[in-house]
Amino acid sequence: MKFIDEYRQHDLARILADKIAGLTDRPLKIMEVCGGHTHTIFKYGIEDMLPPNVEMIHGPGCPVCVIPLGRVDDAISIAKQPGVIFTTFGDAMRVPGSKTSLLDAKAGGADVRMVYSPLDALKIAKKNPDRHVVFFALGFETTSPSTAMTILQAAKEGAENFSVFCNHIMIVPALKALLDSPDLQLDGFLGPGHVSTVIGTRCYDFVPQEYGKPIAVSGFEPLDVLQSVYLVVKQIVEGRAEVENQYGRVVERNGNRRALEALSEVFEPRDYFEWRGLGSIAHSGMKLRRKYAAFDAELKFSVPGLRIADPKACQCGEILKGVKRPWECKVFGTACTPETPIGSCMVSSEGACAAYYNFGRLSKVAERSLANAR
Amino acid sequence: MTDKFTPSPLFERVERVRRRKPRVRDEFITLAHGSGGKAMHELIEGLFLEYLRNPLLEKLEDQAVFEINGTPPRLAFTTDSYVVDPIFFPGGDIGELAVNGTVNDLAMSGARPLYLSAGFILEEGFAIADLKRILESMRAAANRAGVEIVTGDTKVVQKGSADKIFINTSGVGVIERPVNISASRAEAGDKVILSGTIGDHGTTIMIARGELELETEIESDTAPLNSLVEDMLDEAARLGEADAIHSLRDPTRGGVATTLNEIALSSEVCIRIYEARIPVREEVKGACEILGLDPLYVANEGKLLAVVSSGVAEALVAQMRENPYGRDACIIGEVKDEPPGIVAMVTGFGGTRIVDMLVGEQLPRIC
């Protein structure tokens, strides 16, 4: 396929992998912050191609994975209110709350519908004037601009039966929290691609400047990821720490002005927002500004709003920080599987545990032996 | 090179759980139970089989094969219900699907399909003109497949109690050849044949729902595969290897990935496929890329997967390509001993990864 297959070429991948291997024998830990990269790494078997000294650590950039149990419970309680049509992205349907998921709520009679965009949710609101439509807004700056645009559109149209349950989060505070975490030892980062189309690369300057770590903003095709790993390893070997932009075909240094304007028009930072596994991070979540309060589901509906601790057995927190690897969690693959996930990392295909379970379950060594036996 | 596989403790831990007796823990039926993936397997093995168990059902093939009073010929018997939404879609409709689907389930045992039944559940208010259109295409599909619809049933339910029209078809066929085709017969050394492009049907339905405002020219691949199976069996017999076709399945819900997993688990073998060899239409690839779907898990309604002795694989593929429904047939992989129960894929990118069964639901009501 044009503009896709070019980024999946086997021969180029081999060359890049060899170049990475040629740079250094030093053991290095590089974190891909974004869940999209985690998915690519497993789907294409990139771990297999990297030299054994370069280890990828899978970061917290999977929005479904970092939403805390309490917020899922709140979403379910809104979905169950009479007259509500609750709309959500598909991958949030199966995320377990403290007791049930949205999928269970749907089976139990709640009107939960999957949408591909918040604008679709607004359309549903227009078609059902006697119902109230709530959109479950999730995600980093990749998805928040479309929520913002939808709210602006709803305001323009005077839609009275539409609101948003806002759980949007920001990547930079999370990255800072990670870098400040004492149990974390990383040598470099792959920066998120699609988030950066919105926020630009400038906002990562603190990573090299304040923490002395290299970062390369990366695209999502397998060659993008490999090339970004190469850029980061090369920086380390050459003793540099900079922000590099591998995804120049869509990411600009200053980001997307219109998207940023829409974001700041509609949203303001929350004082604190709870992240699953990472705890409460200051100014990391977004809420609707007072001007758009009419569209804020949190003000329209009373929700339990409880903070609920993760199940004891679940080690999503350590996994999201990259301190533990998925298979080091006691319940991985036994009590916690994609069919019956305990932790959120097992739900989304961008979660490290689900990716490892679905694609990488053969140990690295075993995979190699399979590939070699051809 | 050796193919010896030493399972890591992690691998063993997961496999132990994976082989555990399926249990239904859910309190309610969710859409995932109908997806063709893991939840559906749990429902079938953990519930239906527990209550209705008998030696024929226990095999969990797509059809039951038996003799009456132990006297040949062997008969094949199957049933399937159709709830596709929308009922009319590019390349076919619910009626054509209902005939082809049951014909194919019979053909996958090596049977010659003979007679079908058709049961209709109609919603109050459904247009007679639409019913006529559906019956016309059922007649045409039955003619094409060489079967007759010889018995039927009609029920009408109140508006809202069903969505427009649901159709159930059952079918019987006769197995006249000395074949023994089963998902449990794949052996190390066998080759895996795929009869054509994947993902056409599921992608068509997704787009036909119009929720995505995509415009493409993809059509459903719904087709009767009995003539293709006949050609394969003829060719195998001609080569003096009548029993060389070990497993046949049509990868409908859950797609190629799920069907290969069923065969790998049932035969306790490893199936290794090569991504680069699997034919996918450009339009399907593009649509799946946008929708975040993996064509390996998307439904087909006119394709088959065959596991055959390696000696006859090339000849079978050549023969299949002569048939209009097998024009893009190719060998996509092979069967290995280890690790058992696993489908592994060498990606086009050069890595190797596991291809597991579908979890959750990709698209509801595709057939």
Judge: A222–B349 Cβ closer than 8 Å, yes or no.
Answer: yes
SS3 for B232?
helix
Residue B182 is assigned to a structural domain of this protein: no
**Of B347, B356, B363, which to mutate for an interface test with A (greatest number of A Cβ within 10 Å)?**
B347
Report the C-alpha gap between A251 and A254 in whole angstroms.
9
d(CA A369, nearest CA chain B) in Å = 7
In this predicted model, what pLDDT tens digit does every residue of A165-177 receive, in sequence order?
A: 999 999 999 899 8
Domain that holds residue B262: 191-354
Reported as a single tens digit per residue, the pLDDT across A207-250 is 999 999 999 999 999 999 999 999 999 999 999 999 999 999 88
Residue A341: what pLDDT?
81
Which residue in chain B is spatially nearest to A42 when comparing CA positions? B353
Cα(B233)–Cα(B246) distance, integer angstroms: 11
> Does one domain contain both B172 and B118?
yes
Any domain includes B255: yes
Domain presence at residue B324:
yes
Q: B219 and B328: one domain?
A: yes
> Rounded to two decimals, what is the model's pTM?
0.84
Q: What is the mean pLDDT of chain B?
A: 91
Query: How does pLDDT run across B191-232, given as a tens digit for each residue?
Result: 999 999 999 999 999 888 876 667 778 999 999 999 999 999
SS3 A323: coil
Beta carbons of B353 and A47 less than 8 Å apart: no
For residues B278 and B270, give the distance between their C-alpha atoms in angstroms, rounded to a whole number: 18
SS3 B124: coil
- Integer CA distances (angstroms), A126 to A41, A79, A129, A154, in order: 41, 18, 6, 10
pLDDT in tens, A339-366: 778 877 887 777 888 888 877 666 553 4
Does residue B205 form part of some domain? yes
Question: Are B209 and B317 within one domain?
Answer: yes
Is A366 in contact with B6 (Cβ distance < 8 A)?
yes
Q: Measured between CB atoms, does B282 come within 8 Å of chain A? A: yes
Instruction: Confirm whether B327 is domain-assigned.
Output: yes
Given CB atoms, is B360 within the 8 Å cutoff of chain A?
yes
d(C-alpha A160, C-alpha B319), whole Å: 63
For B92, phi then psi, to 5°, come to 170, -170
Domain boundary residue, one of B149, B176, B203: B176
Asked if residue B181 is part of any domain, the answer here is no
Domain ranges for chain A, please list them.
Answer: 1-308, 316-369
B112 bridge partner residues: B174
Q: Are residues B333 and B202 in the same domain?
A: yes
Cis before residue B339, ω within 30 degrees of 0?
yes
Interchain CB contact of B58 with A (< 8 Å): no
Judge whether A296 and A166 are in contact, CB under 8 Å. Answer: yes
Counting the structural domains of chain B, the total is 3
Domain boundary among B176, B209, B237: B176
Select from A362, A363, A367 the residue whose CB has the most chain B CBs within 10 Å, as the one to mutate to test that interface: A362
The CATH classification number of A1-308 equals: 3.40.50.11740
Collapsing DSSP to helix, strand or coil, B366 comes out as coil
Q: Is B59 on the interface with A (CB under 8 A)?
A: no
Residues B299 and B270 in one domain: yes
Q: Are residues B44 and B140 in the same domain?
A: no
Nearest to B352 among A10, A340, A367 (CB): A367
Label the pairing between strands A286-288 and B88-89: unpaired
Co-location of B318 and B238 in the same domain: yes
Beta bridge pairs of residue B312: none
B231-272 tens-digit pLDDT: 999 999 999 998 999 999 999 988 999 999 999 999 999 999
Based on the domain organization, do B202 and B313 belong to the same domain? yes
DSSP A243-282: EEES-TTT--TT--HHHHHHHHHHEEE-SEEEETTTEEEE
Answer yes or no: do B249 and B307 share one domain: yes
To the nearest 10 degrees (0 to 180), the angle between helices A352-359 and A35-43 is: 10
